[in-house]
Amino acid sequence: ATNAATVRVLAAHGYEVVAVGTGQEALNRAKSEWPTLIVLDIVLPDILGTDVCERLRKDPITKAIPVLLLTAKPDVADKIPASYAAHDRTFEKPGRLDDLMTLIQNMAMGGKR
Which amino acid would we find at residue 93? K
pLDDT averaged over consecutive 10-residue blocks of the chain (113 residues)? 71 86 92 89 86 90 89 66 67 79 83 45
Query: What is the reported pLDDT for 112?
Result: 44
Query: What is the reported pLDDT for 93?
Result: 77
Write out the chain in H/E/C secondary structure: CCCHHHHHHHHHCCCCCCCCCCHHHHHHHHHHHCCCCEEEECCCCCCCHHHHHHHHHHCCCCCCCCEEEEECCCCHHHHCCCCCCCCCEEEECCCCHHHHHHHHHHHHCCCCC
Q: Which of 27, 5, 28, 77 is nearest to 17 (CA)?
A: 5
Q: Rounded to whole angstroms, how far apart are CA atoms 52 and 49?
A: 5
* Residues 59 and 41: beta-carbon distance below 8 Å: no
